[in-house]
């Protein structure tokens, strides 16, 4: 549980990686918000927007789009 005085306080999420040996074979971002101190996964259009925003950040990292 995360401390909060109420309301949505932060964007969050879980990065799921699948690896085979030393190679990452799959990457998935599961977006969430912290609301009232509890992480709540986003669903539907809100999740799609959050994933698109996350993907848009890759450009400044110099990282490849696919593992």
Per-residue pLDDT of the chain (67 residues), as tens digits, is: 445 455 556 888 888 999 999 999 998 889 998 887 788 899 999 999 998 988 888 777 776 666 5
Does some domain include residue 66?
A: no
Tell me which residue range forms the domain holding 27.
Answer: 8-60
What predicted TM-score, i.e. pTM, was given to this entire model?
0.62
Does some domain include residue 2?
A: no
- Rounded Cα distance between 6 and 50, Å, is 21
Does some domain include residue 34?
A: yes
CB-count exposure of residue 29 (10 Å: 0-12, 13-18, 19+):
middle
Domain count, the chain: 1
Does some domain include residue 41?
A: yes
Q: Which residues, 6 or more positions from 55, have their beta carbon under 8 angstroms from its beta carbon?
A: 29
Does some domain include residue 3?
A: no
State residue 67's pLDDT score: 58
């Amino acid at each position: 549980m995360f401390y909060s005085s109420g309301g949505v306080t932060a964007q969050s999420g879980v990065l799921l990686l699948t690896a085979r040996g030393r190679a990452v074979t799959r990457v998935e971002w599961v977006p969430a918000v912290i609301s009232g101190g509890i992480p709540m996964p986003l669903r539907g259009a809100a999740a799609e927007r959050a994933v698109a925003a996350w993907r848009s950040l890759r450009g400044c990292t110099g990282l490849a789009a696919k593992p």
